[in-house]
Amino acid sequence: MERPCAMTPEICTLGHDALLVRFAREASEAATACVQVMLRLIDEADLPHVTEIAPALASVMVRFPGGTDVRSLLHQHLSDLIRKTDWSTVGVPTAKRRWIIPVCFDSDAAPHLAEVAQIAGKSEATIIHDLENVDVRVLALGFAPGQPYIGLLPQEWDMPRTSTLTAEVPAGALVTAVRQLVLFANPSPTGWRQIGMSAFKPFAPETDTPILLRAGDAMQFSRASADEIARLQASGDPKGGAICQSL
């Protein structure tokens, strides 16, 4: 069940040099929409002393060099930004660009697809069809450099992490849990279920654009064959055949 979307943002201190604007403690469409809006408001306000802004799924962190006076000043600025918006009616802002990422859903590339379909109460074909048609957002980058948390998926995707860890999913794996998707940047152990495989590398440290994605980007998936993913991986292009459209 979606919680009522009356969001009451609170400002918390995080360590000695950050403030956290938190909209909720649980993931929801309303909270993710609020985060995207707040992120844009803070960015556009060009607040003094801010050294970095980072979104999570239901909060935005604002970092500054530290100090009592700067903290008070920023707290005031953030309170003003919060007050100017009616958070109960906020929707997800329009994305500035959209990525279309080739993904293979064949069984070798999607070892947990059958289980996911069963939990969601749908056929595998329907799940793949849904994934090909879903329009989701990059909610945040985290855990590893450039690695996107993507969502939120419809309610039937609200499934917990697995009780035992998968020892390793490969880099490029598309995995899901709790109405979200992650495209793994590196081979990782995970409690999320793997439902596809891409050739996309969210972090390419040796290139001019080491981080390809930004929070707020729209994302779609196009079905690709295992051969095509293998060919894209071999090509060495970190985008792995992905197309980025300006909106």
Partner 1 sequence: MSVPLIEIIRATVGLSIQDMGRTGTTAIGLSQGGAMDKLALIEAAALLGKTQPSPAIEFMGIGGSLRVSCDVTVALTGGEMTAKVGDRLLQWNATHTLNAGDIIELSAPKSGVYGYLTPHAQLATPRVFDSQSSHVSAGVGHWLQSGDIVNGTPMALARSMKIRAIDRLGGGTVRYLAGPQTDLFSDADVNRFHATPFSASHIANRRGVKVDFEGAPFTPQNAHGIVSDIIVTGDIQMTGDGEPYVLMSECQTMGGYPRIGTVIPADLPILAQAKAGTPIRFEQITLEQADTIMADPISAATLSTRLSTLVRDPAEISDLVSYQLISGAITGYED
Smaller CB separation from partner 1, 26 or 46: 26
Q: Is 111 helix (H, G, I), strand (E, B) or coil?
A: coil
100 lies in the site for partner 1, by CB under 8 A:
no
Residue 210: count of CB within 10 angstroms of its CB: 14
List the interface residues with partner 1, window 8-37 (CB under 8 A): 12-18, 20, 22, 24-27, 31
In the bound complex, what is the minimum distance in angstroms from residue 51's beta carbon to partner 1?
A: 6
User: Could you tell me which of 175, 153, 148 has the C-alpha nearest to residue 2?
Assistant: 153
Query: Quick one: which of 45, 114, 211, 230 contacts partner 1 (CB under 8 A)?
Result: 211
Smaller CB separation from partner 1, 10 or 115: 10
Smaller CB separation from partner 1, 75 or 223: 75
92 lies in the site for partner 1, by CB under 8 A:
no
150 lies in the site for partner 1, by CB under 8 A:
no
149 lies in the site for partner 1, by CB under 8 A:
yes
The strands making up 18-22's β-sheet, listed across from edge to edge, are 10-14, 18-22, 59-63, 52-55
Residues 179-194 as b/e (b if ≥16 CB within 10 A, e otherwise) read: bbbbbbbbebebebbb
In the bound complex, what is the minimum distance in angstroms from residue 238's beta carbon to partner 1?
A: 12
140 lies in the site for partner 1, by CB under 8 A:
yes
What is the spatial distance between Cα 209 and Cα 148, in angstroms, rounded to a whole number?
A: 16
What is the spatial distance between Cα 108 and Cα 89, in angstroms, rounded to a whole number?
A: 43
Count H helices and E strands in the chain, helices first: 5, 14
Q: Which residues bind partner 1 (CB under 8 A)?
A: 12-18, 20, 22, 24-27, 31, 51-59, 61, 63, 66-68, 71, 140-147, 149, 185-186, 203, 205, 210-211, 215
